[in-house]
Amino acid sequence: MQIIVDVPNNYLDVLHRAPEDFAQEAKLAMAAKLFEMKRLSSGMAASLIGLDRVTFLAQLHRFGVPMIDLSEDELAQDIDNA
């Protein structure tokens, strides 16, 4: 499947981005949001946009998305199981 988004040239000018850079950032933002919403695992999100998992995880901070998002109960359970 392919998603096509029309982006006016003046947007690229305002953002000071080359079309390729804007496209990569938009893909990363989409993958980060899908990961944050727990719709995709980090590996699947990374694969979707052609990155390795570690590189994807390292970029999440740019979008305010935590690498690990556990509730207090989940964290306590992980600690108990360690």
Three-class DSSP category at 44? helix
Dist. CA 61–CA 12, nearest whole Å: 23
Q: What confidence score (pLDDT) does residue 36 get?
A: 95
Residue 43's contacts (CB-CB under 8 Å, 6 or more residues apart) are: 53
Q: What are the pLDDT digits (tens) for 60-81?
A: 999 999 988 777 887 788 788 8
Q: Would you say how long the chain is, in residues?
A: 82
In tens, the pLDDT along 7-66 reads 998 988 888 889 999 999 999 999 999 999 999 999 999 999 999 999 999 999 999 999
Judge whether residue 82 has pLDDT over 80. Answer: no
Q: Nearest-CA neighbor of 35 among 74, 10, 68, 12?
A: 68
